[in-house]
Chain A
């Protein structure tokens, strides 16, 4: 009974972490998308120096553990640039930069699996290469990428807990704080785990909906035979 009353007492504080965690995840998804798509385009269509630059970026951000990246940016890169960002901003940025590296590779795969004839046909109609990329290649590449891209959400959700290390008061940080106040180690961490599972499930449901919403015959095995 005592456990229950403690949980009820601290519940609102713990649940308040949902907004912070989702804030981290959504910011990182958006940053990752905004940077990841141009990175992918650069890697497929760019000149040799551009392709090399993208490769270095991807190699760097995929090659280091999230925790090290967080420390490097929180204690090193941002202070060196004279930027005094709150931990949340650093966390979202680092997760986003890292996500961009992963997303760029998902989109690159999507772009490369658009049939070559699509570009040829677009050019033959008098589109410039850039017009063809915008109106023909990207819309198809994004649809092809969606299933792979949807993995980014659970990846980021679980990764976001590492922001605990730089003091972002998200779910994990709050759980630890409550544990140190109440010594109810397992009940609190189990509650925290259940919240993560619920967020994961809810997010994936929304992604499913989006996949159905953007489904087109001929993409992803939904072809209709006439």
Chain B
């Protein structure tokens, strides 16, 4: 069955001190799928994403990218991270670099691309997220929505096989949220495999191939978005959705 799943997560456990943050998480991701993780804050959704690219080391469990095990791979982790992009809640753009330099730096330093090829690729990705006109601006000169779009371009430049979105719009007001979600919708439609931690129910409804409801470090319920949204089986899911839709 090699190749059916681009990403597999098996029985992930993570404790921070006495607090159990992930309590045996397992799921598989098909190529081109968009998984949206929802659930109350503090239920381990962000920790889960960070355990996938090993920014946080899980205590137990395995992660496979295209059937190669990521967990416990030692120094080869940098190679895996080049194939798994990540977009952060606070953008984390490199503050000393312009937009275009942010996008090209990993191409230069990690991929060892030639300067002019890296620049061309970076400009192409900036155009893709509608930020080409802001190529020479520094992060401090961008709005939150613009910064997040540049950070998505920075991610795309590495041609990742999967992108992890860790609450990409939580720091943005509704107007800026919309411009970021538009970019993410385009990506999903273009066949990018995406794991998204988000409270944007509308996004989940229209783009997700699967919605996963997490609570207390466990997956409570998962399924196609319409099924989870319209007909949640678990009372906790119902309660949570009721609460967000009233907001």
Contacts and interface: CB of A to CB of B under 8 A. Distances in A.
Interface of A: 115, 117-118, 120-128, 131, 135-136, 139-140, 143, 216-219, 223-226
A216 B95 CA distance: 9
B88 A218 contact: no
B90 A124 contact: no
Given A117-B90, A117-B92, A219-B96, A125 B140 contact: no
A141 B87 CA distance: 23
Given A117-B88, A117-B90, A226-B143, A218 B81 contact: no
Indicate the member of B55, B88, B96, B139 with the most A CB atoms within 10 Å.
Answer: B96
Nearest to A225: B141
B94 interface: yes
Contacts of B110: 125-127, 131
A225 B141 CA distance: 6
A144 to B, nearest CB: 10
Contact of A224 (B106, B140, B143): B140
Contacts of A125: 81-82, 85, 105-106, 110, 154-155, 158
B78 interface: yes
B95 A126 contact: no
Contacts of A224: 138, 140-141
Contacts of A128: 75, 78
Contacts of B139: 218
A219 B109 contact: no
B24 to A, nearest CB: 25
A124 B55 contact: yes
Contact of B94 (A118, A131, A217): A118
Contact of A127 (B55, B78, B85): B78
Interface string B121-141: 000000000000000011111
Contacts of B148: none
B95 A219 contact: yes
9 contacts: A118-B95, A121-B86, A124-B55, A127-B110, A135-B105, A143-B96, A217-B138, A217-B141, A226-B137
Contacts, number: 86
B214 to A, nearest CB: 21
B53 interface: yes
B94 A121 contact: yes
B244 interface: no
B142 interface: yes
A212 to B, nearest CB: 16
B140 A218 contact: yes
Contacts of B154: 125
A136 B94 contact: yes
B141 A121 contact: no
A140 B95 contact: yes
A217 B151 CA distance: 18
Contacts of B88: 117, 120-121
Which 3 A-B pairs have CB atoms at the shortest separation, nearest pair first? A218-B140, A126-B82, A121-B92
B224 interface: no
B150 to A, nearest CB: 12
B140 A123 contact: no
B40 interface: no
B85 A124 contact: yes
A99 B158 CA distance: 42
Contacts of B92: 115, 117-118, 120-121
